[in-house]
């Protein structure tokens, strides 16, 4: 699936639907959910009534004020429309993905296996939890479930965007299947684990559409602040009217409403919901489904990151990195023997030995002949060695140190004196020593290493710069764990860890007031995923893990938790930056409207007209227009997010105050003045 950067910001369909949605959101029942914009709508309705019924307040309003009221009403209408449009754009991008997901929800028939061994065909929506269904190659999985028998490849591209089928089988961490995916080979018996309408796919669609989106704690706190500021400025304006009347200063009601709209935080009020929706959308663009906005927001506050070693920090497959011959053995002979021992070995370790030997220029001319004439000896838990028996009677083996040593002694060979030292050195580096023998004579050691993923060390440095501590969990012994931890650059590690150890470290960190994130995919990870503030489960993992987590990675890439944390940070930073900009905007607008309102009655107020605006009317309308058009101008920032760079909270605050605080003060001075220069002459012509 494409990343965010490759996707169009707004398509034609999204634009069309967003415009329609913006008008639909004028419904007061919907608008009351956003108190700031609801106040603007009430003001719009009131000014509109004054325009239609000029004598409503019986204050002698004439045609002159009627035209002024109409202009103010129109600008207020545009302000609300732009705020609704911002939210509709954010929702539209999510709904575009929903349409793709809904295409996978086809009417599917399922072959249900009854307890007596008979079969019955049901529609997918008729299935209940506990039903056993048989799905064969080419058929669609009717609903979420667990594989109880069989092994097959499943095409999950409709959900994950990845074209490569995934092998599913009973047990382990790849036993769960998702409704709407397609079995591409063999067959599977599946036990249904969810009811129709409650599948993972249904939850994804509901969440992306925003039907389940609830305001997060930070969003609620900010909304409370905005409502408080709105109430304060409403009280200020309400008390201003009798005061000016007492001073015999006539201020039109439309002007007072315009003052209210310009003073209350309409900019962030119009963008707040869009920022939250866009934050979840950005996570979705990374192919991660957040079960709630709270989960995305929690990512921005993460202090500690718990990561599994295998598959997350390392590739999980041990790779050959070095051939170390014992004293008296030529390295070329060891390389050739190691290559022979792996010719028929299809394991990742065996393939890596062949690859390393080829890089070291091993002679491969007789490869086909040896394969055709030799007998493959497979690795077993009992023998702990593998290799080949060649046609000429030569026996090539590679395996564990103690096993090969025992076989060599039994054959009457002397164990090389430096063998134990080589094995100890490899082990101390966190590697696996694989001893190679020819006819039970030990030739040397192959160094197998669990390779740390490239670029991870730099990523962990970035996390450290954000103030996030990384802890690696592994079942390896302390020596190996320490070596991997040092190479990867994590801050700490837990060796020989068990599921209860993960829960303990999470609880210990949380007891210190830390926000903890972790990844997992197995049933044994479910308790820890549930305990963590941010739990990222792999889509390829078990249903238990996905149910326990509050995020699911459709690509099953454990390292993606790092990107998700950065998106959470970006969400909080975007909200903070635009709030700073909005409040700073309001400060600047005071200098446009307050002098314009009062300088007719109080000449000394002219000294505050530092923008040198044309007339009081043009000043008020210019400020109102600027207040409206700044909302759509900030939509791209709200949608894409403020660019995030790892830095301390103090530096981040200073940067926001400098860019968005200072910028928020300067922008209205420039914008309002430019608008005044344009509309001033027009208002003069029409007599305002």
Q: Which residues are known binding-site members for Mg(2+)? A: 521, 525
**b/e map 309-338, b = 16+ CB within 10 Å:** bbbbbbeeebbbeebbbbeebeeeebbbbb
At 430, is the secondary structure helix, strand, or coil?
coil
To 10 degrees, the CA torsion angle through 118, 121, 126, 130? 30
Strand partners for 109: 123
Are the C-beta atoms of residues 516 and 532 closer than 8 Å to each other?
yes
Pairing relation of β-strands 314-325 and 492-494?
Answer: unpaired
Cβ contacts of residue 284 below 8 Å, gap of 6+? 94, 97, 208, 290
Binding residues for ATP: 345, 349, 379-386, 398
Longest CA–CA separation in the chain, Å: 119
User: Closest Cα partner for 134 from 210, 191, 58?
Assistant: 191
Q: CB neighbours (10 Å) of residue 395?
A: 17
CB 466 within 8 A of CB 646: yes
In angstroms, the CA 551 to CA 535 distance is 6
The CA distances from residue 350 to 319, 341, 399, 424, in Å, are 8, 8, 11, 22
Alpha helices, DSSP H only, in 247-321? 253-263, 266-285, 293-300
CA gap 353, 332 in Å, rounded: 14
CA atoms within 13 A on the CB side of 16: 4
CA distance 603 to 263: 23
SS3 content of the chain, % helix, strand, coil (to 5): 55, 15, 30
Q: Is 555 a catalytic site residue? A: no
C-alpha angle 7-12-16 in degrees, rounded to nearest 5: 130
Q: What are phi and psi of 672, to 5 degrees?
A: -65, -40
Query: Which residues are part of a known binding site?
Result: 345, 349, 379-386, 398, 521, 525
Q: How far is CA 591 from the centre of its chain?
A: 42
The residues facing 448 across adjacent strands are: 320, 432
Catalytic residue among 308, 450, 476, 676: 308
Which stretches of 529-656 are assigned E, i.e. beta strand? 534-538, 551-553
* Whether 554 contacts 287, CB under 8 Å: yes
Sheet of strand 151-155, all strands in order from the earlier edge strand to the far edge: 166-169, 151-155, 182-183
If phi over 0 gives left and psi between -120 and 50 gives alpha, with beta otherwise, what is residue 60? left
DSSP for 349-410 reads: HHHHHHHHHHHTT---TTHHHHHHHSEEE---TTT-EEEEE-TTS-EEEEE-HHHHHHHHHH
- What is the C-alpha R_g of the chain? 34
> How far is 553 from 559, CA to CA, in rounded Å?
10
- 458 C-beta neighbours (distance < 10 Å), count: 9
* Integer angstrom CA distances of residue 433 from 404, 447, 608: 11, 5, 81
Distance CA 258, CA 342 (A): 81
Helix and strand counts by DSSP (H, E) for the chain: 24, 22
Any idea which residues carry the catalytic annotation? 308
């Amino acid at each position: 699936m494409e990343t965010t950067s490759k996707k169009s910001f707004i398509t034609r369909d999204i634009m069309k639907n967003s415009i329609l949605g913006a008008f639909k959101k004028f419904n007061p029942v919907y608008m009351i959910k956003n108190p700031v914009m609801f106040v603007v709508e009430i003001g719009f309705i009131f000014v509109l009534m004054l325009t239609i019924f000029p004598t409503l307040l019986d204050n002698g309003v004439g045609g002159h004020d009627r035209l002024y009221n109409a202009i103010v009403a129109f600008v207020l209408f545009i302000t609300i429309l732009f705020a609704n449009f911002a939210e509709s754009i954010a929702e539209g991008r999510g709904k575009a993905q929903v349409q793709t997901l809904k295409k996978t929800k086809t009417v599917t028939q399922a072959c249900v296996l009854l307890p007596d061994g008979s079969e019955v065909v049901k529609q997918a929506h008729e299935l209940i939890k506990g039903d056993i269904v048989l799905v064969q190659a080419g058929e669609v999985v009717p609903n979420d479930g667990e594989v109880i028998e069989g092994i097959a490849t499943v095409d999950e591209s409709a959900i994950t965007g990845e074209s490569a089928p995934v092998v599913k089988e009973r047990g382990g961490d790849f036993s769960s299947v998702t409704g709407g995916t397609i079995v591409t080979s063999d067959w599977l018996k599946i036990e249904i684990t969810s009811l129709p309408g409650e599948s993972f796919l249904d939850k994804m669609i509901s969440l992306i559409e925003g039907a389940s989106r609830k305001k997060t704690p930070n969003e609620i706190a900010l909304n409370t602040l905005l409502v408080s500021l709105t109430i304060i400025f409403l009280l200020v304006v309400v008390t201003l009217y009798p005061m000016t009347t007492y001073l015999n200063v006539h201020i039109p009601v439309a002007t007072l409403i315009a003052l209210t709209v310009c003073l209350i935080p309409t900019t962030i009020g119009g963008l707040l919901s869009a920022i939250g929706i866009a934050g979840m959308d950005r996570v979705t663009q990374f192919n991660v489904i957040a079960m709630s906005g709270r989960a995305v927001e929690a990512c921005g506050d993460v202090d500690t990151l718990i990561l599994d070693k295998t598959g997350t920090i390392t590739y999980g497959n041990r790779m050959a990195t070095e051939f170390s011959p014992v004293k008296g053995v030529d390295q070329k002979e060891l390389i050739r023997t190691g290559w022979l021992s792996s010719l028929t070995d299809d394991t990742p370790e065996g393939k890596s030995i062949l690859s390393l030997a080829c890089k070291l220029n091993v002679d491969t001319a007789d490869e086909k002949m040896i394969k055709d004439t030799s007998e493959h000896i497979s690795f077993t838990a009992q023998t702990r060695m593998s290799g080949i028996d060649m046609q000429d009677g030569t026996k090539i083996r590679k395996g564990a140190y103690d096993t090969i040593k025992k076989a060599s002694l039994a054959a009457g060979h002397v164990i090389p004196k430096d063998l134990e030292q080589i094995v100890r050195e490899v082990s101390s580096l966190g590697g696996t020593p694989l001893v190679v023998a020819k006819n039970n004579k030990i030739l040397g050691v192959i160094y197998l290493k669990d390779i740390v993923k490239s670029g991870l060390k730099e990523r962990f440095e970035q996390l450290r710069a954000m103030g996030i501590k990384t802890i690696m969990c592994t079942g390896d012994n302390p020596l190996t764990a320490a070596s991997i931890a040092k190479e990867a650059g994590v801050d700490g590690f837990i060796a020989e860890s068990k599921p209860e150890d993960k829960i303990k470290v999470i609880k210990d960190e949380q007891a210190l007031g830390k926000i903890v994130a972790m990844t997992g995919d197995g049933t044994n990870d479910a308790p820890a995923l549930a305990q963590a503030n941010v739990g990222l489960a792999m889509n390829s993992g078990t249903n238990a893990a996905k149910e326990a987590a509050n995020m699911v990675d459709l690509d099953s890439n454990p390292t993606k938790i790092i990107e998700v944390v950065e998106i959470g940070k970006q969400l909080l930073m975007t909200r903070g930056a635009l709030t700073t900009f909005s409040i700073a905007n309001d400060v600047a607008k005071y200098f446009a409207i307050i002098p314009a309102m009062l300088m007719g009655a109080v000449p000394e107020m002219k000294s505050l007209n530092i923008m040198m605006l044309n007339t009081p009317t043009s000043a008020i309308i210019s400020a109102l227009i600027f207040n409206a058009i700044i909302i759509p101008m900030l939509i791209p920032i709200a949608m894409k997010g403020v660019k995030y760079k790892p830095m301390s909270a103090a530096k981040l605050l200073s940067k926001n105050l400098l860019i968005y605080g200072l910028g928020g003060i300067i922008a209205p001075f420039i914008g309002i003045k430019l608008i005044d220069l344009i509309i001033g002459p027009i208002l003069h012509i029409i007599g305002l």
